[in-house]
Amino acid sequence: MVNLTNSIFRKLFSRPETLRYPFVKRELPEGTRGRIDIEIDKCTFCGACEKRCPANSLKVTREPKSWTINPYSCIICGYCIEVCPKKCIIAHKEHYSPNT
């Protein structure tokens, strides 16, 4: 009990552990796998990413040229980034916002 009392007094004079979200946003470290995006100009629509995606979240068609991702089923594992022959799939550290 004594050590808890000490701790309570220490905490009274320390800064809060939480952030005032949404006014203060948490800074994400470099390398965070937030969301998957594509540099569409480089894409050859080969479909390698669609074939390997463990969650079947990618849809790639050659005619018409399209690359779409289902953000709700994507598990952001990064396997598509590894297998892309043109290295045009990238991971951003920011997550999808709720309105996308």
Name the residue nearer to other proteins (CB basis): 5 or 97. Answer: 5
Name the residue nearer to other proteins (CB basis): 29 or 98. Answer: 29
Q: Shortest distance, CB of residue 75 to other proteins, whole angstroms?
A: 7
Q: Shortest distance, CB of residue 94 to other proteins, whole angstroms?
A: 13
Q: Shortest distance, CB of residue 54 to other proteins, whole angstroms?
A: 4
d(Cα 30, Cα 33) in Å, to the nearest integer? 9
- 61-84 CB burial, b ≥16 within 10 A, e <16: eeeeeebebeeeebebbeebbeeb
Name the residue nearer to other proteins (CB basis): 6 or 97. Answer: 6
